[in-house]
Amino acid sequence: MITFMNNSDSEEEPCNERTSLMSAESPPVPSYQDGLQASQAGEVQAHRKRRTGSSRSPNNIADGDMSDSGVPVRESTLENEEEELTLKYGAKHVIMLFVPVTLCMIVVVATIKSVRFYTEKNGQLIYTPFSEDTPSVGQRLLNSVLNTIIMISVIVVMTVFLVLLYKYRCYKFIHGWLILSSLMLLFLFTYIYLGEVLKTYNVAMDYPTLFLIIWNFGAVGMICIHWKGPLQLQQAYLIMISALMALVFIKYLPEWSAWVILGAISIYDLMAVLCPKGPLRMLVETAQERNEPIFPALIYSSAMMWTVGMAKPDTAAGGPSQQTWDAAEDGRENNRSPSHADSQMLETRSPAPTRPITSFEELEEEERGVKLGLGDFIFYSVLVGKAAATASGDWNTTLACFVAILIGLCLTLLLLAVFKKALPALPISITFGLVFYFSTDNLVRPFMDTLASHQLYI
Amino acid sequence: AFFWLVSLLLSSLIWFIAVKASDPQDEPLQKGLLIFGVMFSVLLQEVFRFLYYKLLRKAIEGLVALSEDGCSPISIQQMAYVAGVGFGLMSGAFSMINLLADSLGPGTVGIHGDSQLYFLTSAFMTMVLIFLHTFWGILFFHGCEYRRWWEITAVVVMHLAVSGSTFCNPLYVGSLVPSYLLMAAAAAWAYLLSGGSAQNLRRFLLCKS
């Protein structure tokens, strides 16, 4: 068994930690809607029809409630308008989440199907030391379970470590750590990926060109993700690094371990976010207490936040709005590693830093984005990619897993409407995905193959 | 799409169990089991279409209760159309995608004595099925809305007929022609139900305002 090179291992670590953290903190962050209160129950029905993300707003309810205490009472007429707006924007937000998740999966599946490198077995990570080349089924199962236990414990340790760092305000450390891991992702993994793609299509490229391309790609990526940049570019970069990370997982996780890890991580996600002593929940609460936003590099945000904070904070409308907005931001963020300053967070989000926000209503009517942790992207893509790689070359399985994951995402957003607090996005989708993968691979495939060979249609 | 997928899952489960429980060498039995599987799957798809209708109905009620002016932003006809398209797309994708992937690779069609028009006819059949699912969606929901059971049974019978006609394959005239005729009939019926008329059609075609 060849382990991955040592230096890469240490580099892997922050990445793994980060992704695990993200996955664990996967509650899809809903858009913030002020004043959305009691009508959520009714909205649930509506949501089921459209599977809209208006369910999203209830999550903000928690934030809204918190912020309400510091904000003047809103008129009820505003609330009614809010409901309508929520519905309209809710559907948009679901689509806003569908598109990036779909894109990430498409990139992963396309790469898996075409580039041979990612399906070759070339060793394993040190996090999964047990090999699966054992003769007996029982032994293989045992090895995969042990691998999972090790991986999950690594993730738990990292998460707890991060929570502690956050609690004791070691912001610089976290900051540096995240920059290091995104550096590695953007440069090293892109280099490997590009190399393999060029090999597959037999395209010659010289080193200076390669260096130029990768340097530009990486530098722009770092700026976009950690600082300011056009929103779509930032989204594209986040999707790309999620896809790269997912490809690494697909390549280096042995088969059975991968499935067991997927299952285990969704259970962990569930517990970490919902249990009172769960690390992620503590992160959320600490962040909310301190009114701090989460580090932007680990969350996918789907829309611009017209930042009230960027307006003069001493304007009358700006003041309370900023407070509520920040509180909403906190509730929204998944990753609790705080960015160094609120202003940085706001800057990342605002397209027009000097846009004056004059009225509170204006703030509410503007587009609220949706946020989803990058870990979710990664694990969804791992599931679909594994399905594409190992399901006997069958596209039906891939398609079924894809649909299952998207439906799971919709249901999660729906539950968000019902429960009105941070929820993990992994469990439902991954469960559906796993169920559909195994059932489609074993049950539907022979049926469809037989039908196709007789050219029967159902 | 999801509902169609679940129905496919359940029907293939049944078929799989039946196959495993039976003798693999017995050719007529296997064929019979396959036919049974197909019919059962068709029925199950319609059942799931009905369940989906129930779900959407509840959702519309919620939306209506929520909205200010008492009518929902999306009508049941639109939902019927979308449901039909979803079903159709999923069934089409599942039928075609492996064929398409294989067609990219090397090979000769029909080299073992099978029909050479395999890909072509598969494509046409899939297309007609997708259209049919869309129209059936509209007809089915309309029937459920206005409690016209004969419309619902007509949809089920049509579906069974189309699936059954594919048993004639590779005698393609026996499957493609009836399917297309049925599709034309279903299209006209759905169009009339959605409020169209010959006049509307003429106006549209002649680009009158």
pLDDT digits (tens, 9 = 90+) for A326-362: 333 333 333 333 333 333 333 333 333 344 434 433 3
Q: What is the pLDDT of residues A164-213, one digit of tens each?
A: 888 888 888 888 888 888 888 889 999 999 999 998 899 988 999 999 99
How many whole angstroms separate alpha carbon B82 and alpha carbon A51?
13
CA distance A114 to chain B (A): 12
The nearest alpha carbon in chain A to B37 belongs to: A447
Measured from the Cβ of residue A392, the count of other Cβ atoms closer than 10 Å reads 8
The pLDDT value recorded for residue B145 is 85
Average pLDDT over residues B94-107: 80
Other beta carbons within 10 angstroms of residue A318's beta carbon come to 22
What pLDDT, on the 0 to 100 scale, is given for residue A105?
92
Catalytically annotated residue among A34, A63, A326, A376: A376
**pLDDT value for A58:** 35
Which residues in chain B are closer than 8 Å to A436, comparing Cβ atoms?
5, 9
Classify residue A134 as exposed, middle or buried by CB count within 10 Å of its CB (0-12, 13-18, 19+): middle
User: Dmax of chain B from CA atoms?
Assistant: 65
Going by C-alpha positions, the residue among A113, A140, A103, A134 that lies closest to residue A390 is A113
What confidence score (pLDDT) does residue A88 get?
A: 55
Give B148 to chain A, closest Cα distance, Å: 23
Best of B4, B7, B9, B79 to mutate (most A CBs within 10 Å, chain A) = B9
Q: How would residue A451 be classed by pLDDT, with cut points 50, 70 and 90?
A: confident
Residue A216: per-residue pLDDT: 93
pLDDT at A364: 40
Best residue in B42, B66, B169 for a mutation probing chain A (most A CBs within 10 Å): B66
Sign of CA pseudo-dihedral B113, B114, B117, B120: negative
Residues of A with CB under 8 A from a CB of B: 39, 42-50, 80, 83-84, 87-88, 393-396, 399-400, 403-404, 407, 436, 439-440, 442-444, 446-448, 450-452, 454-458
In angstroms, rounded to a whole number, what is the distance separating the alpha carbons of residues A90 and A71? 24
> Is B59 in contact with A46 (Cβ distance < 8 A)?
yes
Six-digit token pair at B37?
């599987």
Mean pLDDT confidence for B72-90? 82
What is the H or E stretch that residue A301 is in? strand A299-301
Interface of B with A in 46-105 (CB under 8 A): 55-56, 58-63, 65-68, 73-74, 79, 90-91, 93-95, 97-99, 101
Which pLDDT belongs to residue B26?
Answer: 63
pLDDT at A308: 36
Position A92 confidence tier, pLDDT thresholds 50, 70, 90 = low
- pLDDT-derived band at A38, boundaries 50, 70, 90: very low
CA A218 from centre of chain: 21
Q: What are phi and psi of B45, to 5 degrees?
A: -60, -40
pLDDT tens-digit series, residues B40-74 = 888 888 888 888 888 888 888 877 777 766 666 77
- Mean pLDDT score of chain A: 69
Q: What is the DSSP letter of B168?
A: G
The pLDDT confidence band at residue B99, using thresholds 50, 70 and 90, is: confident
Q: What percent of chain A has pLDDT over 90?
A: 12
Contact A45 B79 (CB under 8 A): no
Please choose, from the candidates A115, A167, A127, the residue with its C-alpha nearest in 3D space to the C-alpha of residue A16: A127
pLDDT at A303 over 70: no
> Is B53 within 8 Å of B81 (Cβ atoms)?
no
User: Does the pLDDT at position A215 exceed 90?
Assistant: yes
Cβ pair A443:B13 closer than 8 A: yes
Does the pLDDT value for residue A91 go beyond 50? Answer: yes
Of A34, A63, A269, A330, catalytic: A269
Active site residue A441: no
Percent of chain A whose predicted confidence (pLDDT) is above 70 = 63
> Could you tell me which of A408, A396, A399, A397 has the C-alpha nearest to residue A432?
A408
What is the DSSP code string of A375-419?
Answer: HHHHHHHHHHHHHHHHSTT-HHHHHHHHHHHHHHHHHHHHHHHHH
Q: Closest chain A residue to B91 measured between Cα atoms?
A: A458
Section A228-232 average pLDDT: 84
Whether omega for the bond prior to residue B24 falls within 30 degrees of 0, making it cis, is: no
* Position A441 pLDDT exceeds 60: yes
CB-CB under 8 Å, B170 with A455 = yes
Q: Which range scores top for mean pLDDT: A47-56, A103-112, A438-447?
A: A103-112
Active-site residue A376, yes or no? Answer: yes
Whether B59 sits inside 8 A of A448 (CB atoms) is no
Alpha helix (H) ranges present in chain B?
2-21, 27-66, 76-103, 118-145, 149-165, 172-193, 198-205
- What is the distance between the alpha carbons of residues B12 and A275, in angstroms, rounded to a whole number? 39
pLDDT score of A81 more than 60 = no
